[in-house]
Structure 1
Amino acid sequence: MFLCCWLGLVALIPTTLSTNPGVKVRLTEKGIEYGRQLGMAVIQQKLGSIKIPDFSGTEKVSPIGKVQYSLSNMHIVNVGLPKSSVDLVPGTGVTLSIGDAFISLNGNWRVKYLRIIKDSGSFDLNVNGLSIATTISIKSDETGRPAVSSDSCSATVGSAKVKFHGGASWLYNLFTTFIDKALRNAMQKQICPLVADAVSDLNPQLKTLNVLAKVDKYAEIEYSMVSSPTVLKSSIDLSLKGEFYNIGKHQEPPFSPAAFNLPPQNNNMLYIGMSAFTVNSAAFVYNNAGVLSLSITDDMIPKSSPIRLNTKTFGAFIPQIAKQFPGLMMKLLVKTEKPPTLTFEPNNATVQATATVTAFAIQPNSTLSPLFVLNLEASVSARMFVSEMKLAAAVTLNKMDLTLDKSYVGDFQVGPLENVFQGVLKLVVIPAVNVQLAKGYPLPTIGKMKLMNTQLDVLKDYILIGTDVQFS
C-alpha cells in the first residue's frame, strides 16, 4: 500500500512551524499507480479470507413442498479484482474504487424433504458484479506519526449463483434463488470490515517513518511537516522540516530555508527536493558539536609525497623554524572558525569554508610547541549522489587562500607555503572529509523501502532527487 504509506506523511504534527520547508516530497501519478497495484494485492488477500458461517433454512419448492437445507464448510477458492482506481480529491484525501470483482467458493449442502428423503453433495458459488468504494482518512497517533483508517465504505454484490453437485442436484438447482440471496447478504456484510482491516494493517508500517532519524552520535534530522499537504488531482506535495539538530539539543540556526518549488515532472514515482538549508543546518550542528576539526601528522601523508610534516621541510620556507626547532616532527590542527556554507546553483554545488591552521613542533617529550596560526579560506565543489537510502557527497578542492594570523617564530611570508598546504588539503583533509560524507545522511523513508532508477539534479537553491521505489 505504497500510496497510503506516503499519504501517511501528511498526518505528522510539526513541533515547530517555519515559513518554508527544508525538504519537499512529491508523489506522482506513476507512484499512485504503483500504490494501487500493491493495495489491490493486499485487499485481494484479505477478501480471500472471507469466512461464511454454516447456515440453514426452509423454503417451499413446487412441486415437492417444504425443503429443509443446510450449507456448510464454505471456503474461498478464487478472488478477482479486474478493475480498480485510486483518486485524489483535491484538498481532501483518497478514494479507492473496485468494480466488476468476483469471488468463487465451494462447500457442502444437505437437504431433507417429504419428511423422510435426505440428500447431500457439494456446491459452487460464483459471486459477480462486486463493487467496493472506500475513503481513507489520515490522522496522527500519539507519537506524531501517521495512522490511517477506512473512513467510509460501501460494498454491493451484483449476483450470487449457486450450482449443486451430487445427489438429485438437478432438482435442488430449482430453488437456488432462495439461497443466492442469503449467501449474497452473508458475504456482503464481511467485505467492508475486511477492507478496513487491510487499511489498518498499514499502521505498523507507518510507525517506521523516520520522523526523527539519527545520523550519528552527534546529529539527527527531523522530517516533520511544516504545513498542510497540497493535494492535487494527479499528485501530492508534502512540506517537511528537513533540519539537522544536535542530539538532545534542538537549537535553531541563525538562517532560514529559502522558498523553492518542485518542477512539473512525472517520469518517476517520487521526487524529493532538499534545499541548501538542510545541508547547511548539518554544518551548523557539526560545528556546534566541535567535530569539524582534524589533527594531521606526518604518518597520515602518503610516503610517496615530497611533503613531510617536519621542521626541515617547513624550515626551507621559514628558516627560523629550522633554527629554533631542528630535527623535529610537526603537527597541524585544522579547525573551522564558523560553519561551512553550501550553495546550490544549476549543475553546481559549492562549499565555502573558513578555518584556522595551527602548526606545532613535537618535542622529544611529546609536548607541542606552537609555531604559527594561519587563516584558511577554501572553496570546494561537491558532487551529490544517492547511496541506498541516504544522500551522500564527495568534494574536490577548487581554491584556497592563506593569511598569517599569528606567528611564534617571527614574521614570514605565507605565499611560499601555499603549495605545501594545498598538497596537505588534497592528500589528507579532503580524503578525510569524503570518508565521512560517503556515509551519507538518511532520506525520509518508510519501512523496507528501496530506491530505483534514481537521478539527482542540482538546481537553484536545492537538489532534486527523482526516483522510483520498491517495497519488500
Structure 2
Amino acid sequence: MLSLCCILALLASFCPDTSGTTAGVKVKLTQKGLEYGQKIGIPILLKKLKAIDLPEMNGSVGVFLIGRVAYSLTGMKVLNVRLPQSAVGLVPGIGVSLIISDGYIDTGGNWRVKFLGFISDSGTFDLSVCGLTITTTITIKSDGTGRPMVRSANCEASLSHARIRLRGGASWLYNMFNGYINKKVRKELQRKICPLVSENIQKINSYMKTLNVLKKIDRYAEIEYGLTESPVVSVSSTELSLKGEFYNIGVHKKPAFAPTPFSLPPNERNMLYMGISAFTANSAGFVYKNAGALRLRITDKMIPRAFPYRLNTKTFEALIPQIAKQYPNMMMKLLVKAATAPTVTFAPNNVTLQANTTVTVYAIQPNTTLTTLFILNVDASLSAHVYVIRKNLAGKLSLNKFNIDLGTSYIGPFKVKPLASFLQIMLKIVIPHVNVILQRGFPLPNIANISLVKPRLVIMKVSLYPSYEQTWMHEVLNVLCIYEPLL
C-alpha cells in the first residue's frame, strides 16, 4: 500500500507548528494525483479484505416441529472479494474521502448441526455477500511531536444481502441458514471491515516517519521541509506550504532576507505541482558562505596543458611586469572566495546567479610560504540550467559575463584590464568544480520510494497574494512533477 500511502502522506506532509513562517516551497496535490493513489491502493485493500479472519460461529436456532437445532460454522475463509466501484475525493478543510460501492465477498467453510439430542448432519457451504459499501474520511493532523498523523474517521460499512449454497444436508436446512445464519455471517463481516480499513490507514503513519522534514545534504548543510501552516484542502486540490530553508548543520541561523508570500498557478492538469522560490536557493548560498565552503584554491596543476597561460610569475611578466621583477621564476597560487553569498534570481525560463568574489593572487616562495601579490574583486553573472534528477533538483552553471577591479595591490599600481583573458581561463576552471557539486543536486520534499516520472520544469512568475488581485509579482521556480501511472 506504499504508493497510496505516499499520496496520502504528501497530503498530510510535514505538520510541525511553525505558524507565522512564510513558505519557501509549495506543493499542490490534485484530484488526478489522488486518483492515481486510488488505482494503486484498491488492489492492496482487496488483498487485505481477502485475509479477514472469520472466527468459528456456534449457536442454536428454533426450528418448527424439531425444536432447538445447534449449529457450528468452522473453517470459514474469504474466497474472493470484488470492489468494482470506488472513488476518492477531497473534503475541503478536512482531508480525503474514500467511497467503495457495489462490492461483494465470497466466503466458504464447513457447517454442522445437531438436534433431538442424537441426530447430526454436516457439509460445506459457499456464501456470497453482495452490496458491500465502505465510506470513510481520512483526516490529517499533527501527532503532537511535529510529525503528521492520519486516521480514519466516520467509517461505515454495510452488506445489503447474501446468498448461501449448501453442499450436503437436507433441504430444510437451507431456510434456516438463509435467514438466521446469513444475517450472522453478514454482521460478522460488517463488524470487521471498518477496523481493517482504519488499521491500514493507521499504517500510513509509519511511512510518515520517512518524510525528509530535515535532510542532511553534506557536511556543511541540511534543508528543512516543515509545514508553515496547516494544509489548505479545496474541492480540487490540497496545497502544502513548506519551510524550504537551508541551514548549517546543527546551527539554524536566519539569513537577513525572508521569503515573499506566493501561490502556485491554478493549473491542475497534472498530479503534482511544486514551487520553489528564490528564497530557498538563496538560503543555500547564505549557508555555504557562512560555512566557508565557497572557496577554491587554484594551482598550476589544475590548468590544462593546452592552455596558453601557466600559473607562474613568468606568465604574468607581460601582464604585470613588476611581478616578474620582484618575484622571478616563482610558481603562483590563487584563492577564489565568495565575498558575499551568491544571489539567485528567477525570471520566466531563466535562472541567473550573481556571484561577488575575490581572487587573491600569491607567489610561492622557494620555502613554500605564500606572499600575497594582489586581490581582485570579481563580479560574475552566470546562467543556470536547472533540472530534476531522480529525487533531487540539480543544476549546471555557465558564464554570462564578469567585471573586475583591483581591490588591494602589494606590488604597486597596475591595470587590471589585461588580466581579463587570464581570469576568464581561471573561471573555466572554477565553474566545472562548482558544477560537480550542483549536479548532485539537493533533495526535494519526498517520502520513501516515491519517484518522479517524466517531470517537467518551468520557470515563471506568479502573483503575490493573487486573491487580492494585486499587481506585485514574486519570482518563483515552479517544478512541475508529474506522477504518471506505470500501468
Residue 440 of structure 1 is matched in structure 2 by 441
Residue 347 of structure 1 is matched in structure 2 by 349
**Partners of 2:363 and 2:373 within 8 A in 1:** yes
**Partners of 1:162 and 1:179 within 8 A in 2:** no
Residue 431 of structure 2 is matched in structure 1 by 430
Residue 416 of structure 1 is matched in structure 2 by 418
- The question of 1:463 aligning with 2:477 is answered yes
Shift of 1:16: 6.1
Q: Distance in 2 between matches of 1:118 and 1:272?
A: 68
- The question of 1:59 aligning with 2:61 is answered yes
What does 1:261-280 correspond to in 2, within 5 Å? 261-280=263-282
Residue 23 of structure 2 is matched in structure 1 by 21
Give me the TM-score of the superposition, normalised by structure 1. 0.96
Q: Distance in 2 between matches of 1:394 and 1:16?
A: 35
Structure 1 residue ranges without an equivalent (≥5): none
**Partners of 2:319 and 2:418 within 8 A in 1:** yes
- The question of 1:12 aligning with 2:15 is answered yes
Change (3 A) 1:15 1:249: farther
56-65 or 110-119: bigger deviation: 56-65
Q: Distance in 2 between matches of 1:299 and 1:469?
A: 46
Shift of 1:262: 1.2
**Partners of 1:42 and 1:198 within 8 A in 2:** no
The one-letter amino acid of 2:262's match is F
Shift of 1:142: 4.2
Local SS of the residue matching 2:424: helix
Q: Distance in 1 between matches of 2:18 and 2:114?
A: 69
What does 1:271-290 correspond to in 2, within 5 Å? 271-290=273-292
Q: Distance in 2 between matches of 1:315 and 1:352?
A: 31
Q: Distance in 1 between matches of 2:329 and 2:439?
A: 38
Task: After superposition, give the CA deviation of every residue in 1:417-455 in whole Å (9 maximum; x if it has no partner).
Answer: 1011011101x1000010110111110001111111101
Local SS of the residue matching 2:135: strand
Shift of 1:370: 1.1
Task: After superposition, give the CA deviation of every residue in 1:109-151 in whole Å (9 maximum; x if it has no partner).
Answer: 1122344332211110111101111111222224311111112
Structure 2 residue ranges without an equivalent (≥5): 462-474
Residue 356 of structure 1 is matched in structure 2 by 358
Q: Distance in 2 between matches of 1:81 and 1:359?
A: 73
**Partners of 2:294 and 2:337 within 8 A in 1:** yes
Shift of 1:172: 2.0
**Partners of 1:212 and 1:223 within 8 A in 2:** yes
The one-letter amino acid of 1:161's match is R
**Partners of 1:24 and 1:272 within 8 A in 2:** yes
**Partners of 2:140 and 2:148 within 8 A in 1:** yes
Q: Distance in 2 between matches of 1:448 and 1:203?
A: 15
The one-letter amino acid of 1:172's match is L
Shift of 1:470: 7.5
Q: Distance in 2 between matches of 1:220 and 1:16?
A: 21
The one-letter amino acid of 2:353's match is V
Change (3 A) 1:300 1:143: farther
Change (3 A) 1:278 1:122: same
Local SS of the residue matching 1:424: helix
Q: Distance in 1 between matches of 2:269 and 2:364?
A: 59
Q: Distance in 1 between matches of 2:186 and 2:209?
A: 37
Q: Distance in 2 between matches of 1:129 and 1:339?
A: 64
Residue 454 of structure 1 is matched in structure 2 by 455
Residue 408 of structure 2 is matched in structure 1 by 406
Q: Distance in 2 between matches of 1:171 and 1:122?
A: 15
Shift of 1:62: 4.7
Residue 386 of structure 1 is matched in structure 2 by 388
Q: Distance in 1 between matches of 2:438 and 2:460?
A: 20
Percent identity, please.
Answer: 51
What does 1:307-386 correspond to in 2, within 5 Å? 307-386=309-388
Local SS of the residue matching 1:175: helix
**Partners of 2:15 and 2:230 within 8 A in 1:** no
Local SS of the residue matching 1:449: coil
Task: After superposition, give the CA deviation of every residue in 1:297-318 in whole Å (9 maximum; x if it has no partner).
Answer: 0111111111211111111101
Residue 187 of structure 1 is matched in structure 2 by 189
**Partners of 2:31 and 2:89 within 8 A in 1:** no
Local SS of the residue matching 1:425: helix
286-295 or 80-89: bigger deviation: 80-89
